Amino acid sequence: MIAPASPSGTTGTSVTLPVPAMPRVRKDPSEIRSPEGVEKKVLLAAPRGYCAGVDRAVITVEKALEHYGSPVYVRKEIVHNRHVVDTLSAQGAIFVDETDEVPEGERVVFSAHGVSPAVHSEAAERNLATIDATCPLVTKVHKEAVRFARDGYTIILVGHAGHEEVEGTMGEAPEAIVLVQNPEEARTVEIPETGKLVWISQTTLSVDETMQTVDILKERFPALTSPPSDDICYATQNRQVAVKKLAPGADLVLVVGSANSSNSVRLVEVALEHGAKAAHRVDFAREVDEEWFHDVATVGVTSGASVPESLVQDLLKLLADYGFTTVEEVKTAEEDLMFSLPRELRSDLKKAGLKTSNKKDGADRDHELR
Ligand code: SF4
């Protein structure tokens, strides 16, 4: 089990959130060496934070709790963000690692990262009611894997071993898929003799590193064909483009996101590769080490695709305390994609005469999961 249940959190009018770790005793801002005669400022990436797949997955759990009541089981972290998981736990969601931890006949939500067909079968055997919150852009990759395998291709999946999305995709056609994690593995991987070879990828990788990996594979296997469209999703790409733009002008880049969030970790790497003098990932503003601010005039700020905006605002408040009061937005794209709620949930909400929109209370969602 990933997080303890707090079913009582759903019944009262107020929700008790987990007690956060005590913040460290902070330095006085005057103890930080400031650069002489240079204005301190923040370059704030846009887009940043929640993508359409994460938004849909989080609302799915919230609406499931509202409609069915607690407990609602969730297989794996619904999205890779500590704050989101802790908050939903406090509202009555019970996070488990595997479906066999869910009591027979109960309801389970599958996370945004997707599951293999074997997980669907296990859930059916246990008579579980399932709600599949797999991001539609992950489902697209699953469908590609199924189609290419059916058409006799050997599939090279570029992705990271052990990531839930990769496990789910590989489970669609385990006999046909070979995992390649990086350029080093592309140089040494052995591929079974086949006339048909195609690559697909995890949705949350570094665009540049993936293309390096694919270039090496293409040199070694000239028959390698590409998928019809990008598998690295729009949100991952957009957040990387924005951080590439601000990184050359930043002494320090701070990425809000969890350690197990692939796209958040990639943002730190991309910032460093594109000129940031330093870059760090934090889950919460309280994790920032003020030593990082010495001689820093410009701080770049962004957040991964599973991060509520409230956590970025907390970081901006902390930065303001240290004199970084000017905030300039670095905008590289507009995003307005929205996915409808999972079919099973929509159907139950509709039968009950309830709204099936994934907008909370009809309002635009800014996801203040506090
Ligand atoms: S990061 Fe991309 S693939 Fe993952 S949930 Fe968001 S939109 Fe979907």
Query: pLDDT tens-digit profile of 227-260?
Result: 999 999 999 999 999 999 999 999 999 999 999 9
* Domain assignment of residue 367, yes or no: no
Q: What is the CATH number of the domain that holds 117?
A: 3.40.50.11270
Q: How far is the CA of 236 from the centre of ligand 1 (A)?
A: 7
> Residue 16 — pLDDT band, cuts 50, 70, 90?
very low
The whole-angstrom separation of Cα 254 and Cα 275 is 14
- What is the average pLDDT score of the chain? 91
Question: Residue 367: its pLDDT value, please?
Answer: 45
Say if residue 68 is in the same domain as residue 143.
Answer: no
Atom of ligand 1 nearest to the CA of 136: 8
Question: Residue 23: its pLDDT value, please?
Answer: 53
Q: How far is the CA of 107 from the centre of ligand 1 (A)?
A: 24
Atom of ligand 1 nearest to the CA of 233: 2
* Domain assignment of residue 144, yes or no: yes
133 Cβ below 6 A of ligand 1: no
271 Cβ below 6 A of ligand 1: no
- Residue 346 belongs to domain spanning: 52-135+338-362
Q: What is the CATH number of the domain that holds 141?
A: 3.40.1010.20
pLDDT in tens, 248-304: 999 999 999 999 999 999 999 999 999 999 999 999 999 999 999 999 999 999 999
Say if residue 220 is in the same domain as residue 257.
Answer: no
54 Cβ below 6 A of ligand 1: yes
Question: Residue 2: its pLDDT value, please?
Answer: 42
pLDDT in tens, 117-158: 999 999 999 999 999 999 999 999 999 999 999 999 999 999
The whole-angstrom separation of Cα 32 and Cα 36 is 12
134 contacts 113 by C-beta, under 8 angstroms: yes
Question: Residue 113: its pLDDT value, please?
Answer: 97
Known binding positions for dimethylallyl diphosphate: 80, 113, 163, 261-263, 306
Q: Choose one of 207, 225, 243: the last residue of a domain.
A: 225
Active site residue 165: yes
> Residue 344 — pLDDT band, cuts 50, 70, 90?
very high
Residue 26 belongs to what H/E stretch?
none
Q: Is the pLDDT of residue 169 over 70?
A: yes
Q: How far is residue 322 CA from its own chain's centroid? A: 29
Question: Residue 57: its pLDDT value, please?
Answer: 97
Say if residue 355 is in the same domain as residue 273.
Answer: no
* Domain assignment of residue 249, yes or no: yes
The whole-angstrom separation of Cα 189 and Cα 322 is 49
- Weakest mean pLDDT among 1-15, 194-208, 237-251, 280-294: 1-15
The whole-angstrom separation of Cα 238 and Cα 206 is 11
Residue 152's contacts (CB-CB under 8 Å, 6 or more residues apart) are 194, 196
pLDDT in tens, 171-191: 999 999 999 999 999 999 999
Q: Is the pLDDT of residue 366 over 50?
A: no
Say if residue 164 is in the same domain as residue 147.
Answer: yes
Say if residue 131 is in the same domain as residue 141.
Answer: no
**Interval 214-220 mean pLDDT:** 97
Q: How far is the CA of 51 from the centre of ligand 1 (A)?
A: 6
Count: domains in the chain: 3
Tokens 């701080």 found at: 299
**Rounded to 5 degrees, what angle do the CA atoms 20, 23, 26 make?**
165
Question: Residue 30: its pLDDT value, please?
Answer: 85
Question: Residue 203: its pLDDT value, please?
Answer: 97
Atom of ligand 1 nearest to the CA of 52: 7
Q: Choose one of 157, 191, 225: the last residue of a domain.
A: 225
Say if residue 67 is in the same domain as residue 130.
Answer: yes
**HSE of 110, CA atoms in CB hemisphere, 13 A:** 29
Q: How far is the CA of 54 from the centre of ligand 1 (A)?
A: 6
Percent of the chain's residues with pLDDT above 70: 90
* Domain assignment of residue 342, yes or no: yes
213 Cβ below 6 A of ligand 1: no
Say if residue 287 is in the same domain as residue 342.
Answer: no
Which of 62, 77, 144, 165 is catalytic? The answer is 165
* Domain assignment of residue 242, yes or no: yes
Say if residue 87 is in the same domain as residue 160.
Answer: no
Q: How far is the CA of 286 from the centre of ligand 1 (A)?
A: 27
Question: Residue 284: its pLDDT value, please?
Answer: 96
Q: How far is the CA of 245 from the centre of ligand 1 (A)?
A: 21
Q: Choose one of 196, 225, 254: the last residue of a domain.
A: 225
DSSP 25: P
137 Cβ below 6 A of ligand 1: yes
* Domain assignment of residue 70, yes or no: yes
The whole-angstrom separation of Cα 151 and Cα 153 is 6
170 Cβ below 6 A of ligand 1: no
The whole-angstrom separation of Cα 25 and Cα 23 is 6
Say if residue 239 is in the same domain as residue 296.
Answer: yes
Strands (E), the chain: 41-46, 72-75, 93-96, 107-110, 129-132, 154-158, 177-180, 197-201, 224-225, 252-256, 279-282, 298-303, 326-331
> Residue 24 — pLDDT band, cuts 50, 70, 90?
low
* Domain assignment of residue 97, yes or no: yes
Q: Which residues of 113-150 are buried (b: 16+ CB within 10 A; e: fewer)?
A: bbbbeebbebbeeeebbbbbbbbebbebbbebbeebbe
305 contacts 235 by C-beta, under 8 angstroms: yes
Burial of 196 (0-12, 13-18, 19+ CB in 10 A): middle
> Residue 40 — pLDDT band, cuts 50, 70, 90?
very high
Atom of ligand 1 nearest to the CA of 305: 1
Say if residue 127 is in the same domain as residue 161.
Answer: no
Known binding positions for [4Fe-4S] cluster: 51, 135, 233
Question: Residue 303: its pLDDT value, please?
Answer: 98
Token digits of residue 105: 């006949």
* Domain assignment of residue 8, yes or no: no
Residue 56's contacts (CB-CB under 8 Å, 6 or more residues apart) are 112, 133, 135, 338, 339, 340, 341, 342, 358
Say if residue 203 is in the same domain as residue 256.
Answer: no
Question: Residue 14: its pLDDT value, please?
Answer: 34
pLDDT in tens, 65-109: 999 999 999 999 999 999 999 999 999 999 999 999 999 999 999
Say if residue 304 is in the same domain as residue 272.
Answer: yes
Known binding positions: 51, 80, 113, 135, 163, 203, 233, 261-263, 306
Q: Which amino acid is at 247?
A: A
Pinpoint the alpha helices (H) of 3-51: none
268 Cβ below 6 A of ligand 1: no
Question: Residue 364: its pLDDT value, please?
Answer: 43
The whole-angstrom separation of Cα 62 and Cα 360 is 9
Question: Residue 359: its pLDDT value, please?
Answer: 66
